[in-house]
Amino acid sequence: MTTEYTKNTSRKGVVVITGASAGLGRSLARAFAKDGYDVSLLARGVEGLQGAQREVEAMGRRAIYFPVDVADAEAVENAAAQTEEQLGPIDVWVNNAMNSVFSPIKKMTPEDYRRVTEVTYLGQVYGTLSALKRMLPRDKGKIILVGSALAYRGIPLQSAYCGAKHAIQGFFDSLVTELMHDKSKVTATMVQLPAMNTTQFGFVKSRLPNKPQPMGKIYQPEVAAKAILYAATHDRREINVGYPTVKAVEGNKIAPWYADYVLAHNGYEGQQTDEPEDPNRRNNLYEPIPGDHGAHGPFGEQSTNFSPQLWATLHRKELLTSALAVGGLLLLGRWLR
């Protein structure tokens, strides 16, 4: 199937996207290019990076790519420097790269935890440091940290990933308060994601008997990309994507014991399909899987392209204005009786 793109000749700025070769990062590259951004693409898989570059350029925007492991702070910093040399000042930095291991804790290894933490948590720290180095002297820019409902609520079989996302949440809180203290015009937003139909479920290392799958309601990555694109130009501290994310975040504050009970009973089966996993399947924990894999995973038929909750949160000012207008009309009608 041939994909057609509409060219955008109006330049909006420069964005850096980590984990840009596949999954959500690939969807983000398309979304930012469509909105007028030149895009710097960071990931390990060269074929996926080249595919993303072609898509961005087909939309009339400039794109460069860097085969970078975000666990390597020096490599991230070098990519940031070359981005500004080739594309210009970085306006938005999106920390999206991640990795995970599906496994009971009792079967995990220290190396598994170290690797997931270095990519998923420290990768965002290193990206933020490189972004701040350039944005703070200009007193301008937006840093977006890609989080998850699992940044607030841990679940079974993903302890390394949940721990890393919790760490990002703590780092984000510190970052926001320091920027506020310094009265900086550089801002940060953390976008908390639901289950998504991305490539990660066929990429990550797994010790489960059956193939892993997203748990609960599944969203296409374009839904999350819309929220992240919105965050690039709006001063929101956090954005929750999808009602399941809101339910997990807020519900865990109220009754974590109930979430413990539900996940203990449903969290194992809910994260696995009925299809046996190949124990020798390749994974991308230490090396990328060759090929250009695009943005979507195999769960398209179970996925939705729209979130009423996200639409409402992105249009809350309009909704408030409409509610006030309706309320005013009702009061006026009562007064004229």
Q: What are the pLDDT digits (tens) for 181-209?
A: 999 999 999 999 999 999 999 999 999 99
- Tell me which residue has tokens 């374009």: 222
Q: How far apart are CA 86 and CA 53, in angstroms?
A: 14
Whether the per-residue pLDDT at 1 is higher than 70: the answer is: no
Whether the per-residue pLDDT at 2 is higher than 90: the answer is: no
Sign of CA dihedral 58, 64, 67, 69: negative
Whether the per-residue pLDDT at 319 is higher than 90: the answer is: no
CATH code of 13-306, in short, is 3.40.50.720
Whether the per-residue pLDDT at 120 is higher than 90: the answer is: yes
**How many residues does the structure list for the chain?**
337
The yes-or-no answer on residue 37 being catalytic is no
Q: How far apart are CA 290 and CA 249, in angstroms?
A: 36
* Residue of 184, 210, 190, 194 lying closest to 279 (CA atoms): 210
Position 3 scores a pLDDT of: 61
Which of 126, 161, 261, 286 is catalytic? The answer is 161
Residue 261 to residues 155, 165, 215, 269: CA-CA distances in angstroms?
11, 22, 16, 14
pLDDT tens by residue, 231-241: 999 999 999 99
Whether the per-residue pLDDT at 6 is higher than 80: the answer is: no
pLDDT level of residue 80 (50, 70, 90 thresholds) = very high
The rounded percent of the chain whose pLDDT value lies above 90 is: 90
Is residue 300 exposed (0-12), middle (13-18) or buried (19+ Cβ within 10 Å)? exposed
| Over residues 297-305, mean pLDDT | 98
